[in-house]
Amino acid sequence: MAKEKFTFQAEVSKLLDIVARSLYSQKEIFLRELASNASDACDKLRYAALTDPSLNDGNTDFRIILGVDAKAKTLSIADNGIGMGHDELIETLGTIAKSGTEAFLAQANANAEADKKGKSKDKDTVSLIGQFGVGFYSAFMVASQVDVLTRKAGQEEAFLWSSDGKGEFTIEAAKRDTCGTTVTLHLNKEDKEYLDEPRISHIIKAHSDHIGIPIIFKDGEREETLNSASALWTLQKSEIKAEQYTEFYHHVGHAFDEPWLTLHNRVEGVMSYTNLLFIPTMAPFDLFTPERKGHVKLYVNRVFITEDCEGLLPPYLRFLRGIVDSEDLPLNISREMFQHDPRLAKIKTGLIKRVLGELKKKAEKKPEEYAPFWENFGAVLKEGIYEDQTNREKILEVSRFQTTTSETPRSLSDIVTDMKEGQDAIYYITGENLETVRQSPQLEGFRARGVEVLLMTDPVDEFWLPAVGSFEDKPFKSVTRGGADLDNIKEAKGADKDGKDKKKKDKKQAPGIDELIASLKISLGDAVKDVALSERLTDSPVCLVSGEGDMDIQLERMLKQHKQLNQSTPRILEINADHALIVKLAGLAKDGKGSSDELKDAAFLLLDQARLLEGEALSDVAEFARRMSSMMERGLA
């Protein structure tokens, strides 16, 4: 076939530009990334050959070979793994077939600009390369050209992929005696240190010693194995150093941060298995992709099976990285059948118990360390409250929540313990972000009484709260629903023994309130479900609340955004009878001094004000502007 020329996906071109124009003190990580890719390719072929031995041509001696050509100034990394076909080359090396790319590029660009100004550390952009799963492109940090010679297992034809990283790449037919891939780097003049065997050996020992496939430096007929080539998880914990755990995490998770928590356990019994799991310090880029795929690799007797086994861990633990190696699972069944194997279900149960147990220890004994974990992964872990009824209570125990009375996230148990006298429900409010919900007028009455309200800003909150219903016999209740029952709760200050403030008890209702409510109901008609006096408002004149049994305001907004709901449910308009504006309008309604048009304009302006406070768009902007202008004219007159 003739040489074909392709243009990189736009995102890849931007990425390569960032890599090419940035200088890093950690350039050596390119070798770790390429060695990890080679190891993965060998693992994949080893598994595929279990059901089709012809794929590896009888060669079960998997190796990664490093070689240099000082004269040509090239470094090569070769493997005898699964290899790639023509279309796979385009898909794998020409595009970033992952979501989150735009977020990555934005952050990488910001870091690169900061690098220019000397305001960021070199490792920042490098860490992003690993975090977003595009480690291959780190080769262009040290190479002016990269060639990839590859032949897919089970196929006769081989292909050569070449690029200088400046926007285009070519693919042409080539020859390779066996399946596998050879990546050849044409090194930059300033990076000739990577032609030095001792330098290469040091990098491999420091970053890739744990790889279970021999990494060999070959110089002519001489071969030297650079790594120990032993599966780290099979060693005793007492034999493993912290740095080894970290480097294995970097390898298996394609990550650059430090692991926040390491779980290395050997389980023996009905099902015997070893797990070496890590919780990252940084949130992976693909945490909220719709697929919600896991990234824990499954091995059987040290033979790699898959890194996406649906039945191994639940989606709400998808932030975990690492491996699980079982002695009891069969090798001769398909990956799809693994997901339905009852033995795998037993392993899954044990892993969930172990992870949640360790999280509970951290949360209770080291809350200051647990806080950043919850900030990164709490929204994902809470999915389990809705999806996993078996472990729901355990997940609730390790869940933490922002509230109106605390600067740090709190547990539900602590929140229940601190409930006010007369309070019979756990109150919460949902919204898009903390800043918005903290300013919600529905919180005013609760804040005045010192009642702690949960501030819920994760989309999953709308689903697990009604599913759970209560905690320690205390029902969850939204502050945006009618019937707040605040009169039963003691005031923070100045409350009598009956739990009601004497001033409020003795205070008379402003004249004309009943007439105003009647006028508002007539003017607004079907635009609202009802108009009622509010217990919850202290500063704002109005707010909107859902009726009992109606959909919560935030949930309705979410469903409309995702085109799953077209029609809005009318809300209850609550008015603050003590607010100066409401008192004034009540006087006009009682005395009959306000014209029907004036009161009607006022009614819709109050409704629009309540909608704006909820972050909703106005239904008729032109009418809002007309009413506002008319009211201002009357006021100025």
Residue tagged 């000739």 (tokens): 192
Q: Which helix (H) or strand (E) holds 472?
A: none
Structural domain boundaries in the chain: 4-225, 232-370, 508-637
Q: Torsions phi, psi of 74, nearest 5?
A: -125, 150
Selected from 3.40.50.1000, 3.30.230.80, 3.40.50.300, 3.40.920.10, the CATH number assigned to the domain covering 232-370 reads 3.30.230.80
pLDDT tens for residues 267-307?
998 889 999 999 999 998 788 888 888 999 998 888 788 88
**AA letter at 634:** R
Q: What six digits make up the tokens of 554? A: 């935030």
Which residues share a beta bridge with 410?
401
pLDDT at residue number 133: 44
Averaged in consecutive runs of 10 residues, what is the pLDDT profile of the chain (637 residues)?
84 66 66 90 88 80 95 97 93 63 55 53 45 68 95 95 90 95 96 96 88 93 90 90 92 88 92 95 86 89 80 94 90 64 91 97 96 96 96 97 94 95 92 89 91 94 92 93 75 46 55 91 93 91 87 78 76 93 90 77 93 85 93 83
3 state DSSP class of 374:
helix
CA angle 439, 444, 450 (to 5 degrees): 115
| Sign of the CA dihedral with 512 first, then 515, 521, and 524 last | negative
Q: What's the start-to-end Cα distance of the chain, in Å?
A: 85
pLDDT at residue number 157: 95
155 vs 81, 85, 158, 175, 623, CA distance in Å? 13, 8, 8, 12, 70
Q: What six digits make up the tokens of 378? A: 């709490």
Residue among 456, 459, 406, 451 nearest 436 (CA): 456
- CB atoms closer than 10 angstroms to residue 609: 18
Give the predicted TM-score (pTM) of the model.
Answer: 0.73
Q: What six digits make up the tokens of 411? A: 């547990």
Q: What six digits make up the tokens of 107? A: 């952050």
Q: Torsions phi, psi of 398, nearest 5?
A: -100, 5
Neighbour order of strands in the sheet with 528-533: 528-533, 571-575, 542-545
Q: Are 251 and 32 in contact (CB under 8 A)?
A: yes
578 vs 514, 517, 538, 575, CA distance in Å? 13, 14, 8, 9
CATH architecture type of domain 508-637: Up-down Bundle (1.20)
Residue among 399, 400, 405, 391 nearest 349 (CA): 391
Measure the CA–CA gap between 52 and 485, rounded to whole angstroms.
69
Measure the CA–CA gap between 342 and 601, rounded to whole angstroms.
66
Selected from 3.30.565.10, 3.40.50.300, 2.40.50.140, 1.20.120.430, the CATH number assigned to the domain covering 4-225 reads 3.30.565.10
Residue among 175, 179, 216, 205 nearest 46 (CA): 179
Q: What six digits make up the tokens of 98? A: 């992952």
